[in-house]
Chain A
Amino acid sequence: MIPPRRPRTEYASLLDLLLGAAALLAVVLLPLLHGGGFRGTLPNVTLYVCIYVILGLGLNVVVGFTGLLDLGYVAFLATGALLTGFLLRMTTTPDGVLHWRVTEPPPADASPLLGFDGSYLLVLLASGIACALLGVLRGIPTLRVRGDYYAIMTLGFAEILFETALWDRSYPVDMESVTGGTFGVKLSSLHVPRLFGRQLFYDEPVFYYLVVGVVVATFVAVHHVNRSRFGRALASIRLDETAARACGVDVARHKLAAFAISGFVGGVGGSLYALNYGTVAAKGLDVWQSVLILCGVVLGGMGSIRGAAFGVGALMALGELLREDLGGVSVPPEARFLIYGLLLIVVMRFRPQGLLPPVRHGRPVTWERDALLAAETPLCSLPAPAEERA
């Protein structure tokens, strides 16, 4: 195992804490100041941004902590969202018959299977666990490849899942009855679950605070992952997989665990995404969604938790700001992607560590500095030749 010699900790400065607290306070107070009816207003945008922040935090576990470029993260978002839609759509009739095909309208006397108060928390958990499993399953074949090949393989998996989700009756497995095919799953008010007696609609304060709570929980959980012995092992894998193995890190197990954590967070985010929109269709969840989230993480700083949250949040807020129907400024929606692409190139060119790179002892940590630090403290300390010591 990694000797606990050099704690790899992201210390927050007082300013960071104050800014974070202020942001959280603003987000919490926003619906109270705004009053009811969120549609197309600031709390609605905040909700949307918060969901992507969750996804960004999850992606950062693999891309930032472990140093593997995951281009297929949308697979978790889609799985979580579609599973949530499927579970919430299940209905039973009084004679005990289960109706689960989302392509058929439920009978008139049907009631939701998961209609009890708080059932959504179970669904949320189930989405997370399913995606964690998916992450492990998807991760096993990728263990042998690194770098570009890992990126391409994750992309390939996402594309395969994307196409399989649209399979109809003419294929070996009728996926359409689970995912709803091209049209997707629509959650009518019959299917929307309740929490504390309120339905979890996108304009309900209960849903808003649930999402904010999940953001905070994810932030804290990911922070602890990064600080832990496990997180340091991931950092060692990122710096040099061979060296990490030589130091006794079980690379395969650590990677799989990272995939599982990342997948869990992605599934939870996807589940909230489904509820926020009320309709989920696989068609809208293509690989560009992963690129978008990745773009945010890179912008904020790969490996930095506050960076990932800030980057994804800023990017999504910018995108929403540029939307015409919100009374914002008017550019064609596709111009957003022009800006995203330019941002990726410019950030990689001029600030490859991101806007808020990870800090340690108040100084930014880059991968190069990490490598230098590692080189400064060799495993066996031989006295250096005199001219080198000077």
Chain B
Amino acid sequence: MFTAENLVNALSLGALYALIAVGYTMVYGIIKLINFAHGEIYMLGAFGALLAVDLGHGSANVLLAVVPAMLLCAAVGMSVDWTAYLPLRRRLPRADALSIALLALLGVGAIFYKLTGDSTHRWHAPAAHTAIGWSVLALVPVVILALALGEKAGLLGRSLGRVHSERLNALITAIGMSLILQTLAQLVWGAEPRAFPEAALPEFLSAPVPLGLPVTVLGKELLIWVTALAMMLGLHLLVSRTRMGMAMRACAMDQETAALMGVSVDRVIAFTFALGSAMAAVAGVLYAVKVGGGISYRMGYYPGLLAFAAAVLGGIGNIRGATLGGVLIGMVQGFTGGTFSAAFLVMILVLLVLPRGLLGEPQASRA
């Protein structure tokens, strides 16, 4: 209910949702795709920082580990674009090759990881069964490769061109990508929720900050607010003042014209994915710091959905709208005791009453 403690919590949640929501809204603004895998990127951000802390043998600071996490997520975000969405947008041999290579890499990487042995998985099946099982898994990249080569050689016949409902295809691909990333995280890090080791957390995070307010604000809450605010400001400057920002806005308006003006559209899209993913990574790390753990392969699902709801609420494609929507959704969730239903209800109502969102620009149809 409306207590000061809840307000602090709601503001932090809102700041995190805003950080995730800008990733959705930027990608949607340019390629009109709900990047379902964005929630998974957020999850990988937390795992990336955990990995960095682990590699630093527990002495690494979480605040420093954010940087490798951001780099990792930027790379994964771009790979997601190249693997899943680029081949749907363009029929380029280069895109095909890249997509196949990355998909195969995913499969091979998982198998390699499994073969190099780990103790997180308990299973006692006979060796032959295990071998057969992993052969089935290994078959997947091989089949992809065969399909692709067959198509190139004209054995399969040209696929029937672009399908009418391209957007549906892209959405289903996004769901597939989300499934893959989630499963890979589960295979690599196991199903148990993890937490940052105590040694990696600076002391000021859990100390109250003397702000002179009637409510205690812990250092981590303040950290979340300041980081989110700074990143939003930075993003605003990037989009409004730099050449890349101008290119992003141009692509959002009209890709073909932007391409005619010399904008490398695919590069801009990849940059957008990287930028949004890096921001989501920060959100993931901050969330894990805030709740003191809960780093699990499933952590991206609800925040991802709620951040999408926030992006819709603010008017999809609009960065300031996503920020506003994120804070509002955070408020709704914070004041209703952390339930998701209320936030979804708000999203549905907004879609019905204000289909363009709070700050959305007029558009002809939402088809």
Contact = CB atoms under 8 A, between A and B. Distances in A.
Interface string B114-151: 00000001010110011011101100100110011001
Contacts of A144: 352, 355
A295 B189 CA distance: 25
Nearest to A371: B164
Interface string A320-359: 0010100011111011011111111110111111000000
Interface string B191-202: 100000000000
A146 to B, nearest CB: 5
Interface string B75-118: 00000000110011000000000010001001100100000000
Contacts of A352: 159-160, 163, 169
Interface residues of B, number: 72
B11 interface: no
* Max count, chain A CB within 10 A of own CB: residue among B83, B170, B305: B305
A239 B366 contact: no
A350 B137 CA distance: 19
Interface string B319-346: 0000000000000000000011100110
B166 to A, nearest CB: 9
A330 B339 contact: no
A349 B140 CA distance: 14
A291 B178 CA distance: 11
A335 B351 contact: no
B183 A324 contact: no
Contacts of B162: 368
A368 B126 CA distance: 49
A160 B137 contact: no
A141 interface: yes
A152 B306 CA distance: 11
B34 A337 contact: no
Contacts of A369: 160
Given A141-B352, A353-B163, A367-B165, A345 B177 contact: yes
Contacts of A160: 341, 344-345
A340 B171 contact: no
Contact of B172 (A239, A298, A331): A298
A370 B168 contact: no
A309 to B, nearest CB: 19
A355 B130 CA distance: 29
A147 B351 CA distance: 13
Interface string A364-386: 10111111000000000000000
B347 interface: yes
B171 A151 contact: yes
A341 B341 contact: no
A350 to B, nearest CB: 5
A335 B340 contact: no
Given A332-B121, A345-B177, A353-B163, A164 B99 contact: no
Contacts of B103: 342, 345-346
Given A157-B348, A350-B147, A368-B163, A337 B183 contact: yes
Nearest to B129: A330
Contacts of B133: 322, 329-331, 335
Given A322-B136, A334-B186, A329 B88 contact: no
Interface in A182-212: none
Interface string A275-302: 0000000000000000100110010000
A366 B160 contact: yes
Interface of A: 67, 69, 71, 141, 144-149, 151-153, 155-157, 159-160, 163-164, 238-239, 241, 291, 294-295, 298, 322, 324, 328-332, 334-335, 337-346, 348-353, 364, 366-371
13 contacts: A146-B366, A147-B167, A152-B347, A152-B351, A330-B126, A330-B129, A331-B133, A334-B191, A341-B177, A341-B183, A345-B173, A353-B163, A369-B160
